[in-house]
Amino acid sequence: MLGHRISTFLNFLSSHDGIGVGGARGILTEVEMDRMAERVERSGGAVSHKDNGDGTQSVYELNINFLDALEDPANPDADEAFVARRFLTSQAIMLALRGVPAIYIHSLLGSRGWSEGVEQIGMPRAINREKISRATLETEMGDQGSLRSHVFRGYHDLLSRRNSHPAFSPEADQHVIPSNEPVFALLRVATGSGGFVLCLHNVSATACAVRLELTDLPLRETIDLTDLIGGERFILEGGTLSQRIEPYQTLWLTEGNK
């Protein structure tokens, strides 16, 4: 007898090849794609193109470490904790979306681009394929102020929080919530009476005050909420959530005191 089967998404942001951009085509314009490619090149990466068969080319793949791809050219000297927080916000979105997350090892370990490897091997994809010794990893992870340590500890915490709530199951419903602020918001609702998680991610370097009208979603109008990540308490009142969200902050809000 066949068991229960689930068809779902496999969500990932980067791999040993680079960052594929096919999924963004039709969402971003070609001009926006080109701007993204130019920014990647300014950050030390390379761009692979595909031949369109009519004499033109379009962006196919970004050959850059994902953490480096998020670098802000206007603030290249940001401290390690801030760089890690910005990166982890991107990863939190992937973890919150419906589906099964696939995490590339260099993302988990907080690696930067391996430009020396590109020169040695002569292949742009080598930038994200560095082989790191165990001794190097242990030394850098042991330094609580290092980028690797910030990223790994933050990633580990996100995964632990995600695993603690049934609303992150591949079977759980998903509702993307419109917001005019630089906040990506979605609601995950577990099957049965397993509860929900309201996921808010500020993707900007500035704090913002967000106001979300949630009366059309399957929630009671007044609920006490707790952030799974930081443990802070919030309130959804009259179907509206008004909240200040710090730069690159992630809030995963669930009912009650979790």
DSSP labels for 103-118? --HHHHTT----HHHH
Under 8 Å between Cβ of 148 and 107: no
Confidence at 4, pLDDT banded by 50, 70, 90: low
Looking at the domain 10-163, which fold is it? TIM Barrel (3.20.20)
pTM (2 d.p.): 0.90
In tens, the pLDDT along 158-207 reads: 999 999 999 999 989 999 998 888 999 999 999 887 899 999 999 999 99
Domain with CATH 2.60.40.1180 in the chain: 167-255
In tens, the pLDDT along 243-257 reads: 999 999 999 999 976
Token pair of 167, please?
Answer: 């609303």
In this predicted structure, the answer to whether residue 6 has a pLDDT above a threshold of 70 is no
Pick the CATH number of 167-255 from 1.10.3720.10, 2.60.40.1180, 2.60.40.420, 1.20.120.140: 2.60.40.1180
Query: Which residues, listed in sequence order, are joined to residue 185 by a DSSP beta bridge?
Result: 177, 200
pLDDT at 1: 44
Domain with CATH 3.20.20.80 in the chain: 10-163
In tens, the pLDDT along 74-108 reads: 777 789 999 999 999 999 999 999 999 999 999 99
Long-range contacts of 132-137 (CB under 8 A, 24+ apart): 137/109
pLDDT at 8: 82
Token pair of 66, please?
Answer: 């994902």
Instruction: Give helix then strand counts, H and E, for the chain.
Output: 7, 13
What average pLDDT is seen over the chain? Answer: 91
Under 8 Å between Cβ of 213 and 240: yes
Question: In Å, how far from its chain's centre is CA 101?
Answer: 10
Pairing mode of beta strands 223-227, 250-255: antiparallel
